[in-house]
Structure 1
Amino acid sequence: MLFFGMEGVFSALPLQALLRAGVTVCALVVPASWRQGPADQPKGQRPPPLRPLLAPTSRHGARPLLPVLNRALAVSPVALALQAGLPVWEVSRLQAEEAIATLAAYQPDVLCVACFPYRLPVPLLTLPRLGAINLHPSLLPALRGPEPLFWVFREGLSETGVTVHLLEERLDAGPIIDQERIGVPDGITYAELERRCALCGARLLVRAVQALAAGTARSYPQDEQRSSYRPAPSPADLLVPASDWPARRVYNFIRGVASWAGPLPVTSQQEMLFASDALAWWDPSAGRPLTSLPGALPATERLLPCGSGLVHLRLASGEAAHAVPASPEQS
């Protein structure tokens, strides 16, 4: 097997499960451009399409511009692979003949993808004898795209899931081999939901690989009538329109996403706040009345009126002294 992934639990835990199950992994492939910046290359020199990685590396002190690039680095698939004695390849151009030839030399039976940011070219998709499979953190065909867990929080969903499917040229659209639902309880953080999806997905992935090897795998096509695609979140997608949302949705979005993306802009009435966390919510229309007001709040906290109900916020550093007037478009 060739395993394609990147730093974070959604690649690391499935790779760890495959290794523990005794699956023979030939090599790990990771995206070079997500580990290197322009400053890492000599001026005017194009990086090679792929290069071997000899030791785990990370760029310290660099914060991604968009939260879509954030990944928990506590569990590293690169460290797991190197510890197991596996080759690790950083790739920048998968379509290059050199990259395809290098990976084809492993003659893999299966290609496995778990949180890899590049589409695999057709010569790689058709390379493995048993097929190429992808682990996706949603109940496909819903929420195709690069960051489905963000949209679970954004759309206020109470359920998501994990899908193992066959890869094809269309993104996240191949036939489904296995799938499992996962609940999204109130107050869960992005990191915890990602961890639960990774643990569930790891188990499904091992089962799928074993079924492919045994010739017992079954798949069924995705229902295109039920399909949806969501892009990578933009800064505008991080805005919380508290006056338009019920308290429960505001609470769950801030609670889930702020620890992943950083303080979130919140518009309410005629001001904008930046929230670093949500601590509690009340909404009589949802059967959760506020029976008594909390005592005096510290300057770093605020009761936020929502479309219905209230949310108890923790403000970002400095927000206690500054409430920014909302623009006409935001209010």
Structure 2
Amino acid sequence: MNNPLKIVYMGTPDFAVPPLRALQENGFQMLAVVTQPDRPKGRGRKLAPPPVKETATAFGIPVIQPETVRSDDFHQCMRQLAPDLFVVVAFGQILPPSLLEIPALGAVNVHASLLPRHRGAAPIQWAIIEGDEETGVTTMMMDKGMDTGEILLMEKTPIAAEETADELHDRLSEMGAPLLLETLKHLQAGDLNPIVQDPAKATYAPMLKKTDGEIDWSQPAERIARRIRGMTPWPGAYTFSDGMRLKIFKARVLERDISVPPGTILECMPGELRVATGKSALAISEIQGKSGKRLPIDDFLCGCRLPDGTCLG
């Protein structure tokens, strides 16, 4: 590559690893990787590095882990590096305008939605929960707003009928790498045609909380099934039976008329537990109880009875 772009890469989780790998393997000059500080993880609460740090270290790229990117020290560090471009992918901190002004060419972000739909921290999950038929990856120039910058390139993909958030996450992460490379090629060539986002079409995808996973059985079965898929693997969709927390991993919609209260267990059939909802029923096929093991429903019911007529929630 002639005159390779000098890049500071900002990213933290697994989603940001394929784009980083693509930049490193395609001749860009990686000045540094900026990622979140190591955090306690697992039952032992031992400090663990973010996935992006592990990848950068393996490549020999310098790693910077600021508690905040708003500090004077971090600004000075970026000025000394003098990058052509920031590339930001699921970093986890909002960059102030004073920071975005430092790179000569600004900052390019890779976002896992079809902007302006699903701006925010959890676009993959909310695309499933909201019943979108398609989603995708967008590259954009960053500005002071949250995912409000001009759109550069976009690639779409259908959401499969049974696709969960973790499965869609992995697909979009891999899609983001070539889209980023294509964006930077056109950025260097000067032939990008940025598109201003239409704020009237914007929706927001807020960060998920653990409480978002609790199932409201008064909702239609179709909406509950989407929530289960969108909440897998985190925070997980769950309900209660006599105080016992039940985490539900797989379920399908069962079209039938319902005459009992939502949340009532209708019957247990081979391979599924049928539960009434606000509209139609849900057939649960994978569940986790107090044992902590994810089990097929038949195996679960061998050790935990849920009689017909039991009300969940």
TM-score, with structure 2 as normaliser: 0.79
Equivalent position of 1:315 in the other structure: 287
1:62–1:143 distance in 2 versus 1, CA, 3 Å: farther
**Quick one: distance in 1 between partners of 2:31 and 2:114?**
29
SS at match of 1:2: strand
Q: Indicate the RMSD between aligned Cα atoms, in angstroms.
A: 3.0
From 152, 166, 177, the counterpart of 2:127 = 152
**Quick one: distance in 1 between partners of 2:280 and 2:66?**
49
* Pairwise CA distance, 1:199: 1.3
| Pair 1:278-2:250 in alignment | yes
Equivalent position of 1:260 in the other structure: 234
8 Å contact kept, 1:133–1:164: yes
* Pairwise CA distance, 1:294: 9.5
**2:253 aligned partner, one-letter code:** W
**Quick one: distance in 2 between partners of 1:199 and 1:322?**
41
Q: How does 1:1-331 map to 2 (within 5 A)?
A: 1-8=7-14, 10-32=15-37, 35-36=38-39, 59-61=41-43, 76-245=51-220, 247-265=221-239, 274-283=246-255, 296-297=269-270, 302-313=273-284, 314-318=286-290, 320-321=304-305
**Quick one: distance in 2 between partners of 1:266 and 1:156?**
25
8 Å contact kept, 1:175–1:219: yes
Equivalent position of 1:42 in the other structure: none
May I ask how many residue pairs the two structures share in their alignment?
281
Structure showing greater relative contact order (alpha-carbon pairs closer than 8 Å, 6 or more residues apart): 1
* Pairwise CA distance, 1:250: 2.5
**Quick one: distance in 2 between partners of 1:126 and 1:6?**
22
8 Å contact kept, 1:188–1:252: no
SS at match of 2:275: strand
SS at match of 1:105: helix
Moved more, 91-100 or 252-261: 252-261
8 Å contact kept, 2:116–2:199: yes
SS at match of 1:179: strand
8 Å contact kept, 1:272–1:325: no
SS at match of 2:65: strand
8 Å contact kept, 1:29–1:89: yes
Give the fraction of aligned pairs with identical amino acids, expressed as a percent.
27
1:104–1:321 distance in 2 versus 1, CA, 3 Å: farther
8 Å contact kept, 1:100–1:124: yes
SS at match of 2:102: coil
TM-score, with structure 1 as normaliser: 0.75
**Quick one: distance in 1 between partners of 2:185 and 2:44?**
39
1:22-74 deviation per Cα after TM superposition (whole angstroms, max 9, x unaligned): 22211110012xx336xxxxxxxxxxxxxxxxxxxxx44268xxxxxxxxx9x
